[in-house]
Amino acid sequence: MRWVVLAQILSTRDVMHSDDEQATRTSRREGRSERMKARAARTALAAPYTLRRTAIVSLIDDEAIATIEANADRILDEIGMEFRGDAETLEIFRNAGARVDGPRVRFDPGWCRDRIRTAPPVFTQHARNPARSVQIGGNAQVYCPSFGPPFVHDVERGRRYATIEDFRNITKIHHQLGAVNHSGGVVVEPVDLPVPIRHLHMAHAHLTLNDKPFMGAVTAPERARDTIEMCRLAMGADFVDRNCVLYSVVNTNAPLVLDETMIWALKEYARAGQCTVVSPFVLGGAMSPVTIAATLSQVLAEVLASVALIQLIRPGAPAAFGTFFSPLSLKTGAPTFGTPEGTQFQMCAKTLADRLGLPFHSVGALTASKVPDAQAGYESQAQLMGAAMAGVNFIIHATGCLEGLLTTGYEKIVMDADRCSAMMRFVQGVDFSEAAQAMDAFHEVPPGGHFLGAAHTRANFETAFWMGEMSDNGTYEQWMAEGALWEHERAALRVRKLIADHEPPQMDVAIRDSLDDFVARRTREIMGETA
């Protein structure tokens, strides 16, 4: 009976003649549209990052920590790590007292830890728009798009190779999503552009279509230098020289190798005082042993040695402890996502990063699903929830992932952003303030009454509960009246609207011209060199 009463209170329907039914449906849609617009306006003003107030969930105790750290020291001492293709790096290590034998470098126990003490535990990555700058480390959490897929997917055209138009569209979408704090890096590979010049057009899009912070190119030293120079043009050379404006990911070649391409990028960003994230890319069972404990030891060893190199190049340069771990399916040989082991690894690795005093970078809404279906939802949510609870500072692949990072899904971007928004709310904890206790409301509402019209409800209903953009929480009749759309269909409509409504963030005309000229000049130079 009480559910019937509640339904009557909440219902916006009136009993009416059939002649009025269409007008009512139209009014209902318009009302919902206005509510969504108001909600979107609130989202657009969201904080540039989330300050977590909940406790970190860890699955590793002091005894296990001591074991993993000791094992990492043994790996570096007895086996070492190879730094391939760069004589300068080997000389840097040799001069600092490491044991160099060909490309193999070995380290005494504790040597690497001593060197990384100069890395800042917390720093700011500055955006072109100062209001969008983000804190990296501490109790801050930053949500960032997926990185690197060569394909895109949408519900109308399916899966296809990505183009620079797709890259720009996705950058426009992320600019307007309040739950996404970062513009990302290679949100998709624009395969219609030659490889040597892709980085120019990607950085140009990040700087002109979005004003959030973004990631630097790492596939060649000259591409890293180009990215830095474009930031100098957009934000001022003196400012870039004094501040971190780029956040760039260097992947080790597990097990225990850093190749010349990654070394060169690491050196460029370290010397420029920009952030380098050392993120071992590990498929458990292939690139590391099958157990989490062994993989943690390996990953810790690779991070220790690589971050030590950053600090030897420029003490105090910002760096982060990164991980990408996916258990390998022993049935199919493919990576798996949303598994308990992925979340367990993340929670343990965050504790190891905290012990080193480094910000922690890891993955978010990963899925092996090929389309934005139920599998995509539960795998992505499992991984994202684990990242939020572990206190991951920088959550990459938070939006858009399909097909194990081979594809970015247009609809999945906005669906994932809704989940990011929910996680942001979750980690802010529960309000137990005097206002939240609402004692006045108990005096206002008699036993057996309802709180819908209470002063406390009216004052707080807009913010009391999290309200997503994509979930449909109305009645079945409302859903039918509004087209009976599944979530991916609603997401498709929102994607089109976000692209159509995008307005480039403000930029001085002279700065825009200098960026355009730089891209044109470097394109001529590079393509002339490769012709």
State the pLDDT confidence band at 455, using cuts at 50, 70 and 90.
very high
Q: Which amino acid is at 259?
A: D
pLDDT of residue 303: 98
Task: Look up residue 268 and give its two tokens.
Answer: 């460029």
344-367 average pLDDT score: 96
Task: For residue range 285-301, list pLDDT tens digits in order.
Answer: 899 999 999 999 999 99
Query: How far is Cα of residue 302 from the mean position of the Cα atoms in its chain?
Result: 22
CA distances from 203 to 185, 207, 208, 276 (A): 8, 6, 9, 17
- Can you tell me whether residue 145 is helix, strand or coil? coil
Q: Transcribe 401-415 into DSSP letters.
A: EEGGGTEEEHHHHHH
222-227 average pLDDT score: 97
Residue 2 predicted with pLDDT over 50: no
24-48 average pLDDT score: 52
Q: What angle do CA 331, 336, 342 make, to 5 degrees?
A: 125
CA distances from 63 to 66, 340, 350, 354 (A): 5, 22, 16, 16
List, in order of start, the domains of the chain with CATH numbers.
Answer: 43-430+457-531 (3.20.20.480)
Q: To 10 degrees, what angle do helices 292-313 and 62-74 make?
A: 60
Question: What are the phi and psi torsion angles at 83 (to 5°)?
Answer: -115, 100
Q: How much is the mean pLDDT over the chain?
A: 91
Q: Transcribe 174-205 into DSSP letters.
A: HHH-TT----BS-SS--TTS-HHHHHHHHHHH
Q: Which residue has the tokens 């590990």?
A: 282
Can you tell me the distance from the alpha carbon of 402 to that of 366, in angstroms, rounded to the nearest whole number?
A: 7
CA distances from 457 to 34, 292, 448, 464 (A): 21, 47, 17, 8
Q: Which carries the bigger pLDDT value, residue 474 or residue 19?
A: 474
303-324 average pLDDT score: 98
Residue 36 predicted with pLDDT over 60: no
Can you tell me the distance from the alpha carbon of 345 to that of 343, in angstroms, rounded to the nearest whole number?
A: 5
Can you tell me the distance from the alpha carbon of 242 to that of 186, in angstroms, rounded to the nearest whole number?
A: 25
Q: Which amino acid is at 199?
A: H
State the pLDDT confidence band at 7, using cuts at 50, 70 and 90.
very low
359-377 average pLDDT score: 95
Can you tell me the distance from the alpha carbon of 190 to that of 425, in angstroms, rounded to the nearest whole number?
A: 34
Residue 503 predicted with pLDDT over 80: yes
Residue 316 predicted with pLDDT over 50: yes
Buried b (16+ CB within 10 A) or exposed e, 343-358: bbbbbbbbbbbbebeb
